[in-house]
């Protein structure tokens, strides 16, 4: 059985397979070389949060980032349904913010 394929269709398929293959290698390398920080987990009914700018280095060069309690990402807050909680938020930025 002879299958007729145009040059354009052949080149599209070749290009797509090359791109797909390189994305697989790139994503594997990206996952193995980048380790993102794990968010802190806070439990209880009273939480003190400070929003400010902190120097962080995620991509290999240091930058200023807006952080909560100095961490990026901010902490995970855990409580149970029905709990009454207190959030104390300090804004150390030069602009208004909200959580």
Nearest CA to 43 out of 83, 71, 89, 70 is that of 83
pLDDT at 18: 66
Give the CA angle between residues 62, 63, 67 to the nearest 5°: 120
Which secondary structure element, helix H or strand E, spans residue 18, and what is its range?
A: helix 7-33
Q: Could you list the residue range(s) of the whole structural domain that residue 25 is in?
A: 1-34
CB atoms < 10 A from the CB of 68, how many? 20
pLDDT grade for 4, boundaries at 50, 70 and 90: confident
97 or 35, which is more confident?
97
84 and 50 within one domain: yes
* Same structural domain, 50 and 85: yes
User: Taking the alpha carbons of 61, 99, 91, 82 in that order, is the dihedral positive or negative?
Assistant: negative
CA-wise closest residue to 45 among 78, 4, 11: 78
**Is the domain of 28 the same as that of 2?**
yes
Q: What is the mean pLDDT of residues 21-49?
A: 68
């Amino acid at each position: 059985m002879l299958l007729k394929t145009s040059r354009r269709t052949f080149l599209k398929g070749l290009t797509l397979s090359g791109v797909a293959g390189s994305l697989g290698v790139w994503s594997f390398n990206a996952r193995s070389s980048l380790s993102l920080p794990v968010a802190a987990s806070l439990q209880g009914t009273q939480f003190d949060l400070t929003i400010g700018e902190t120097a962080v280095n995620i991509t290999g060069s240091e930058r200023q980032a807006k952080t909560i309690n100095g961490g990026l990402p901010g902490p995970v807050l855990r409580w149970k349904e029905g709990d009454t909680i207190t959030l104390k938020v300090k804004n150390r930025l030069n602009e208004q913010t909200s959580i």
